[in-house]
Amino acid sequence: MRDDAGEVIPARIEAVWKRRADLIKAVRMMSDSASLLEKLHEEAPALFAHTQYDVALAWLDSAAFALRQGMPSRLCPMCRGIGCRVCRSSGMLSKEKYAACVSDK
């Protein structure tokens, strides 16, 4: 098993890394739900007469964005998957966190 850059995922975190597919699925479901809400609102706005449609849509979008931003992508370059403060003992970093970590070296 390898990260997004081809680094081998250590056995210690392999089981967690495999669950990344479930997180990707959850984010996709949130995005699909937001799309469905938008379509329903467009086609039948009366369904939302007693709801805070804009708030619900914003929460779905925010949740999907937050999860995408924190999605594990790379093996932590500081600990190589052992766990440290940089990766919060997960052994993994998101693309953004990895880029910041490597640029700080």
- 56-99 pLDDT, tens digit per residue, is 999 999 999 999 999 999 999 999 999 999 999 999 999 999 99
Residue type, position 40, single letter: L
Are 49 and 43 in contact by the 8 Å Cβ rule? The answer is no
Are 18 and 1 in contact by the 8 Å Cβ rule? The answer is yes
Q: What is the pLDDT of residue 60?
A: 94
Q: What is the pLDDT of residue 72?
A: 94
- Helix, strand or coil for residue 88? coil
**Residue of 4, 1, 14, 6 lying closest to 91 (CA atoms):** 14
- CB within 8 Å of 23: residues ≥ 6 apart: 67, 71, 72
pLDDT single digits (tens) 81-93 = 999 999 999 999 9
